[in-house]
Amino acid sequence: MEVTLVILKPSAVQRGIMGEIISRFERKGIQIVGMKMVKLTDETLEEHYSHLIGKPFFGRIKDSMQASPVVVMALKGIDVINAVRKLSGVTNGREAQSGTIRGDYSMSVQENIVHASDSQETAEAELGRFFSENEIFNYSQHLLPYLYAGDEL
């Protein structure tokens, strides 16, 4: 099974919709194996968004991501990276399909509620950035036979 990173951005925290977003992942059958609230530093954001540092909108990203604490989550499941990205919707909330998190809760490209890792390599790097080994838990999810077919496990 894969593990991926999701960040509930300040736009979710400030609007008081963290529980609604978390419940969407849980209702899908995705297991939460780590979760905490953190205040993002300049250094963390520069590392996390290193591919955007030279862009004219990078300052706006930093300001937005530091407007309040964020919630970082480690989520686990079969093909969870792809499943989380589909649940999240496209980056621009105005273009995101209704029924996705961004499609239902966002009207912005910046204030788009969640960040989700886009690949296995990215997920591993991002999880390492936000969690220590003892903060991601490996515990039995007793509902697995009701979430996946036997040959999927």
Active site residue 115: yes
∠ Cα 22 44 49 (to 5°) = 80
Q: Which residues pair with 72 in a beta bridge?
A: 7, 36
Q: Which of 48, 51, 115, 142 is catalytic?
A: 115
Rounded Cα gap, residues 8 and 21, in angstroms? 8
Alpha helices in the chain (DSSP H): 10-15, 18-28, 42-48, 58-65, 80-88, 101-105, 120-130, 144-147
Rounded Cα gap, residues 41 and 69, in angstroms? 10
Using an 8 Å Cβ cutoff, are 78 and 148 in contact?
yes
Rounded Cα gap, residues 92 and 83, in angstroms? 18
Which residues are catalytically annotated? 115
